[in-house]
């Protein structure tokens, strides 16, 4: 109820401000785009949502069963961004409203819905330097940092769902520099709490440390296209990004670092172990063709959680292993696109989880870029060659 009242007040204020004059904004650039007359602040308000139809067929070892059908609102979000006091101090707030957005509450979030996705300040304190403070995505694998509204396929890959380092709360320092006229280098480091978003009862375990290095030998992509799916800008010259990410979650207490279940022991205390995740990824675009490649590997000092006696397994295991994701697509001048993806995930033996391979073929129609688009894909998934499944997805994205 408090959140509803807050949203009503915020929206009433925004529309009241906007109603005082005609806005020159257009579809896809935010529902409200307002700058104060004295340039002391600005605000852009951009709601968005995604609807999905999903049909799955599972193989029982002899034949495929009857399909299961599902309609969902996959995401429904309210995004606010702009600057305050000075254009050098930017902010971003993003709230999630769908069930998938707010689920996952537990005793460490006071058993409340997890509405807040992003709440971060970005201070441009010097040329090519930024300091971020708050809750937002860590500088992890490129697929995770791409907005869910800018994806090339209907949703992210198995690599991302199993190995992402996701969102956390803390500090990030970012820097960029050029070698010559085009060769761009970006460095990003982060110090964060290590337990994911919306945690109120902490810090459990230790802190999380992240470092990412990005090299763009042919210069920056148009409109930050290295963090958007598909080559909507049809890069006239080849553009390439190559990156490496190192993440250490010291004394981690969850099975997937900032995600997954907490590893409790019989006395109610938490099992702790150091978890390390590595990513190597790349993005290439040229004249409608796009390619994204990612490799991830997660290790843990002691992946099998032990009880207080240091001998008896509790049943929890850190999800350690590796994954490869390869994805490519071609955008026709008619704004139709065909895309394909191959993902393989291999888990360590201690996880008692079968390796998986997934093949996905997608078709897109961009009506107004990523802001209004129709997407569909079909995937075939094999778990160690024994448990097969087929999934078809169809949906649309609508973003002001």
30-34, 44-48, 169-173, 254-258, range with the lowest pLDDT? 30-34
Would you say residue 67 lies in a domain? yes
Helix (H, G, I), strand (E, B) or coil at 181: coil
Residue with the larger pLDDT of the pair 21 and 261: 261
Helix (H, G, I), strand (E, B) or coil at 319: coil
Burial class (CB in 10 A: 0-12, 13-18, 19+), 56: middle
Is pLDDT of 16 > 60?
no
pLDDT at 202: 75
pLDDT at 32: 87
Helix (H, G, I), strand (E, B) or coil at 18: helix
- Residue 207 is inside which H or E element, if any? none
Q: What CA–CA distance (Å, rounded) separates 158 from 321?
A: 12
Would you say residue 83 lies in a domain? no
Would you say residue 272 lies in a domain? yes
Would you say residue 100 lies in a domain? no
Would you say residue 128 lies in a domain? no
pLDDT tens for residues 167-194? 999 999 999 999 999 999 999 999 999 9
- Residue 270 is inside which H or E element, if any? none
Would you say residue 121 lies in a domain? no
Cross-strand pairs, 223:
none
Residue ranges in the chain assigned as alpha helix (H):
2-18, 99-102, 142-145, 158-163
Q: What CA–CA distance (Å, rounded) separates 282 from 189?
A: 19
* Average pLDDT of the residues of the chain: 93
Helix (H, G, I), strand (E, B) or coil at 346: strand
Q: What CA–CA distance (Å, rounded) separates 140 from 146?
A: 10
pTM value? Answer: 0.92
Conformational region of residue 37, where left means phi above 0, alpha means psi within -120 to 50, and beta covers everything else: alpha
Would you say residue 395 lies in a domain? yes
Which positions ≥6 away from 164 have C-beta within 8 Å?
140, 141, 144, 156, 259
pLDDT tens for residues 380-394? 999 876 678 999 999
pLDDT at 201: 85
pLDDT at 4: 61
pLDDT tens for residues 113-155? 999 999 999 999 999 999 999 999 999 999 999 999 999 999 9
Would you say residue 291 lies in a domain? yes
pLDDT at 332: 98
**What is the number of domains present in the chain?**
1
**CATH number, position 195:** 2.40.160
Distances (CA, A) of 145 to 87, 197, 228: 23, 15, 9
- Domain of 183? 49-76+147-166+177-399
Distances (CA, A) of 16 to 22, 34, 72, 274: 12, 11, 33, 51
Give percent of the chain above pLDDT 70: 92
pLDDT tens for residues 284-319? 999 999 999 999 999 999 999 999 999 999 999 999
């Amino acid at each position: 109820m408090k959140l509803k009242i807050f949203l009503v007040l915020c929206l009433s204020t925004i529309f009241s401000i906007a109603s005082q004059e005609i806005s020159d904004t257009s579809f896809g650039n935010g529902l409200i785009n307002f700058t104060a007359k004295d340039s002391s602040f600005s605000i852009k308000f951009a709601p968005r949502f995604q609807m999905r139809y999903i049909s799955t067929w599972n193989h029982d070892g002899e034949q495929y069963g009857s399909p299961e059908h599902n309609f969902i609102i996959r995401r429904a979000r309210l995004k606010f961004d702009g600057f305050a006091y000075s254009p050098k101090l930017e902010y971003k707030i993003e709230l999630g409203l769908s069930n998938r957005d707010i689920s996952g509450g537990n005793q460490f979030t006071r058993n409340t819905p997890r509405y807040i996705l992003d709440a971060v300040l970005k201070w441009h304190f010097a040329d090519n330097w930024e300091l971020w403070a708050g809750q937002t995505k860590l500088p992890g694998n490129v697929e995770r940092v791409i907005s869910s509204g800018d994806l090339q396929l209907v949703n992210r890959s198995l690599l991302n769902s199993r190995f992402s380092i996701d969102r956390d709360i803390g500090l990030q320092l970012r820097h960029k520099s050029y070698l010559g006229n085009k060769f761009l280098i970006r460095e990003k480091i982060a110090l964060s709490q290590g337990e994911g978003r919306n945690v109120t009862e902490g810090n459990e375990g230790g802190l999380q440390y992240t470092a990412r290095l990005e090299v763009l030998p042919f210069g920056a992509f148009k409109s930050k296209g290295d963090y958007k799916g598909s080559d909507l800008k049809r890069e006239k010259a080849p553009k390439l990004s190559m990156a490496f990410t190192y993440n250490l979650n010291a004394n981690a207490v969850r099975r997937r670092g900032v995600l997954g279940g907490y590893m409790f022991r019989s006395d109610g205390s938490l099992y702790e172990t150091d978890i390390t995740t590595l990513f190597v990824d790349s993005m290439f675009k040229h004249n409608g063709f796009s390619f994204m490649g990612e490799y991830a590997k997660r290790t843990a000092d002691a992946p099998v959680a032990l009880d207080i006696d240091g001998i008896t397994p509790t049943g929890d295991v850190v999800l350690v292993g590796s994954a490869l994701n390869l994805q490519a697509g071609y955008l026709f001048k008619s704004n139709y696109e065909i895309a394909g993806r191959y993902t393989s995930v291999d888990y360590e033996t201690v996880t008692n989880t079968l390796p998986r391979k997934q093949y996905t073929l997608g078709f897109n129609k961009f009506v107004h870029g990523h802001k209004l688009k129709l997407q569909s894909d079909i995937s075939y998934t094999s778990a160690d060659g024994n448990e097969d499944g087929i999934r078809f997805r169809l949906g649309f994205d609508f973003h002001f």
